[in-house]
Structure 1
Amino acid sequence: MARKVKKKEDIEAYRHEAETRKNAVPVGMASYDTSRPKPKKYDYDPHLDPQLVWSGKKEHTSFEVSAVSLHIHERIAPEAIIRLIKREDPQIDLFAKPE
Protein backbone atom coordinates (compact mmCIF):
# COMPACT_ATOMS: atom_id res chain seq x y z
CA MET A 1 0.00 0.00 0.00
CA ALA A 2 1.40 3.38 -0.99
CA ARG A 3 2.02 5.99 1.63
CA LYS A 4 0.10 9.22 1.58
CA VAL A 5 2.06 12.34 0.81
CA LYS A 6 2.11 14.61 3.83
CA LYS A 7 1.66 18.33 3.46
CA LYS A 8 4.39 20.49 4.94
CA GLU A 9 3.07 22.74 7.65
CA ASP A 10 4.75 26.04 8.34
CA ILE A 11 6.19 26.15 11.83
CA GLU A 12 6.51 29.60 13.31
CA ALA A 13 8.00 30.82 16.56
CA TYR A 14 6.82 33.87 18.40
CA ARG A 15 9.54 36.50 18.25
CA HIS A 16 9.33 39.70 20.25
CA GLU A 17 11.79 41.91 18.42
CA ALA A 18 10.81 45.03 20.38
CA GLU A 19 11.81 43.45 23.70
CA THR A 20 15.06 44.73 25.17
CA ARG A 21 15.47 42.03 27.81
CA LYS A 22 17.16 38.82 26.75
CA ASN A 23 14.85 36.61 28.78
CA ALA A 24 11.29 37.89 29.21
CA VAL A 25 9.87 35.61 31.91
CA PRO A 26 6.08 35.25 32.22
CA VAL A 27 4.65 37.19 35.17
CA GLY A 28 3.76 34.13 37.23
CA MET A 29 7.30 32.76 37.03
CA ALA A 30 9.15 36.02 37.71
CA SER A 31 11.30 36.19 40.79
CA TYR A 32 12.02 39.52 42.44
CA ASP A 33 14.98 38.23 44.42
CA THR A 34 18.05 39.84 42.83
CA SER A 35 20.68 38.32 45.13
CA ARG A 36 23.05 35.79 43.62
CA PRO A 37 22.65 32.19 44.77
CA LYS A 38 25.45 31.00 47.03
CA PRO A 39 27.52 27.96 46.01
CA LYS A 40 26.31 24.80 47.70
CA LYS A 41 28.63 22.42 49.49
CA TYR A 42 28.08 18.68 49.17
CA ASP A 43 29.72 16.35 51.67
CA TYR A 44 30.87 12.83 50.97
CA ASP A 45 29.40 10.18 53.25
CA PRO A 46 31.82 7.24 53.77
CA HIS A 47 28.95 5.10 55.11
CA LEU A 48 27.23 4.86 51.72
CA ASP A 49 27.27 1.67 49.65
CA PRO A 50 30.53 0.95 47.77
CA GLN A 51 31.08 3.02 44.65
CA LEU A 52 33.89 3.53 42.20
CA VAL A 53 36.44 5.41 44.33
CA TRP A 54 40.11 5.46 43.39
CA SER A 55 42.56 4.57 46.15
CA GLY A 56 44.29 7.53 47.77
CA LYS A 57 41.63 9.99 46.63
CA LYS A 58 39.63 10.03 49.86
CA GLU A 59 41.10 13.38 50.92
CA HIS A 60 38.67 15.13 48.54
CA THR A 61 35.56 14.46 50.60
CA SER A 62 33.59 17.58 49.62
CA PHE A 63 33.25 19.87 46.64
CA GLU A 64 31.49 23.12 45.76
CA VAL A 65 29.16 23.64 42.83
CA SER A 66 28.26 27.09 41.56
CA ALA A 67 24.52 27.58 41.10
CA VAL A 68 24.03 28.73 37.50
CA SER A 69 20.61 29.19 35.93
CA LEU A 70 20.27 26.93 32.90
CA HIS A 71 17.51 28.89 31.20
CA ILE A 72 19.81 31.86 30.59
CA HIS A 73 22.57 29.83 28.91
CA GLU A 74 20.38 27.45 26.95
CA ARG A 75 18.97 28.40 23.55
CA ILE A 76 15.92 26.45 22.44
CA ALA A 77 14.35 26.95 19.02
CA PRO A 78 10.79 25.62 18.89
CA GLU A 79 11.10 24.99 15.14
CA ALA A 80 14.03 22.62 15.69
CA ILE A 81 12.22 20.68 18.42
CA ILE A 82 9.07 20.24 16.33
CA ARG A 83 11.14 19.29 13.27
CA LEU A 84 12.90 16.55 15.27
CA ILE A 85 9.60 15.23 16.60
CA LYS A 86 7.98 15.14 13.16
CA ARG A 87 10.97 13.53 11.45
CA GLU A 88 10.32 9.91 10.56
CA ASP A 89 13.31 7.60 10.60
CA PRO A 90 13.47 5.24 7.63
CA GLN A 91 12.43 1.66 8.26
CA ILE A 92 15.66 -0.32 8.29
CA ASP A 93 15.62 -3.91 7.07
CA LEU A 94 17.95 -6.25 8.93
CA PHE A 95 19.15 -8.06 5.80
CA ALA A 96 19.09 -5.16 3.32
CA LYS A 97 22.17 -4.23 1.33
CA PRO A 98 23.82 -1.02 2.57
CA GLU A 99 23.27 1.91 0.23
Structure 2
Amino acid sequence: MADLPHISRAEIERRFHESGEFKKATEFLAQRLREMHWDEKLRTVCLDYAKENDVSRMPRKIVLGDLKTLARPIFPEEVKKELSERVAAFIMQETDKKEPS
Protein backbone atom coordinates (compact mmCIF):
# COMPACT_ATOMS: atom_id res chain seq x y z
CA MET A 1 0.00 0.00 0.00
CA ALA A 2 3.03 2.27 0.17
CA ASP A 3 2.80 3.01 -3.58
CA LEU A 4 -0.70 4.49 -3.34
CA PRO A 5 -0.13 8.20 -2.74
CA HIS A 6 -3.63 9.25 -3.79
CA ILE A 7 -5.51 6.85 -1.48
CA SER A 8 -4.56 6.42 2.16
CA ARG A 9 -4.29 3.09 3.88
CA ALA A 10 -7.14 4.12 6.18
CA GLU A 11 -9.32 4.87 3.14
CA ILE A 12 -8.55 1.47 1.59
CA GLU A 13 -9.37 -0.23 4.90
CA ARG A 14 -12.62 1.74 5.19
CA ARG A 15 -13.64 0.72 1.67
CA PHE A 16 -12.63 -2.89 2.36
CA HIS A 17 -15.01 -3.00 5.33
CA GLU A 18 -17.86 -0.98 3.81
CA SER A 19 -17.87 -2.96 0.56
CA GLY A 20 -18.38 -6.21 2.43
CA GLU A 21 -15.05 -7.57 1.17
CA PHE A 22 -13.68 -7.84 4.71
CA LYS A 23 -16.55 -10.14 5.69
CA LYS A 24 -16.13 -12.18 2.49
CA ALA A 25 -12.38 -12.48 3.10
CA THR A 26 -12.97 -13.57 6.70
CA GLU A 27 -15.48 -16.22 5.60
CA PHE A 28 -13.12 -17.38 2.85
CA LEU A 29 -10.27 -17.66 5.36
CA ALA A 30 -12.33 -19.68 7.84
CA GLN A 31 -13.57 -22.02 5.09
CA ARG A 32 -10.10 -22.64 3.64
CA LEU A 33 -8.60 -23.28 7.06
CA ARG A 34 -11.34 -25.81 7.85
CA GLU A 35 -10.79 -27.50 4.48
CA MET A 36 -7.11 -27.88 5.32
CA HIS A 37 -7.91 -29.09 8.87
CA TRP A 38 -5.88 -26.26 10.36
CA ASP A 39 -8.43 -25.85 13.14
CA GLU A 40 -7.88 -29.47 14.20
CA LYS A 41 -4.10 -29.07 14.06
CA LEU A 42 -4.33 -25.89 16.12
CA ARG A 43 -6.57 -27.59 18.66
CA THR A 44 -3.96 -30.33 19.08
CA VAL A 45 -1.22 -27.71 19.52
CA CYS A 46 -3.31 -25.94 22.17
CA LEU A 47 -4.09 -29.14 24.05
CA ASP A 48 -0.43 -30.18 24.03
CA TYR A 49 0.57 -26.74 25.27
CA ALA A 50 -2.00 -26.91 28.08
CA LYS A 51 -0.71 -30.35 29.13
CA GLU A 52 2.89 -29.12 29.22
CA ASN A 53 2.17 -25.85 31.04
CA ASP A 54 0.11 -24.86 34.04
CA VAL A 55 -1.95 -22.38 32.03
CA SER A 56 -4.29 -21.68 34.94
CA ARG A 57 -1.41 -19.88 36.67
CA MET A 58 -0.06 -18.09 33.60
CA PRO A 59 -1.09 -14.62 32.45
CA ARG A 60 -3.44 -14.81 29.47
CA LYS A 61 -1.14 -12.51 27.47
CA ILE A 62 1.75 -14.99 27.84
CA VAL A 63 -0.39 -17.99 26.86
CA LEU A 64 -1.75 -16.22 23.78
CA GLY A 65 1.72 -15.08 22.77
CA ASP A 66 3.08 -18.60 23.08
CA LEU A 67 0.16 -20.05 21.12
CA LYS A 68 0.56 -17.48 18.34
CA THR A 69 4.20 -18.50 18.04
CA LEU A 70 3.21 -22.17 17.82
CA ALA A 71 0.34 -21.54 15.38
CA ARG A 72 2.26 -19.50 12.79
CA PRO A 73 4.44 -22.33 11.45
CA ILE A 74 1.43 -24.60 10.86
CA PHE A 75 -0.59 -21.91 9.06
CA PRO A 76 -0.88 -23.04 5.41
CA GLU A 77 1.27 -20.95 3.04
CA GLU A 78 -1.25 -21.65 0.27
CA VAL A 79 -4.00 -19.93 2.24
CA LYS A 80 -1.75 -16.94 3.02
CA LYS A 81 -1.06 -16.58 -0.69
CA GLU A 82 -4.72 -16.87 -1.68
CA LEU A 83 -5.79 -14.29 0.90
CA SER A 84 -2.99 -11.91 -0.10
CA GLU A 85 -4.06 -12.20 -3.74
CA ARG A 86 -7.66 -11.40 -2.81
CA VAL A 87 -6.65 -8.31 -0.86
CA ALA A 88 -4.26 -7.19 -3.60
CA ALA A 89 -7.00 -7.57 -6.23
CA PHE A 90 -9.33 -5.42 -4.11
CA ILE A 91 -6.67 -2.75 -3.70
CA MET A 92 -5.96 -2.71 -7.44
CA GLN A 93 -9.68 -2.43 -8.18
CA GLU A 94 -10.11 0.43 -5.72
CA THR A 95 -7.06 2.35 -6.88
CA ASP A 96 -8.16 2.10 -10.51
CA LYS A 97 -11.43 3.89 -9.69
CA LYS A 98 -11.65 7.61 -10.24
CA GLU A 99 -11.46 9.69 -7.10
CA PRO A 100 -14.65 11.67 -6.32
CA SER A 101 -14.13 15.40 -7.03
Q: TM-score, normalised by structure 2?
A: 0.24
- Higher-Rg member (1/2): 1
Higher helix share: 2
Which fold has the larger relative contact order, with Cα–Cα distance below 8 Å and residues 6 or more apart in sequence?
Answer: 2
Q: TM-score, normalised by structure 1?
A: 0.24
Higher strand share: 1
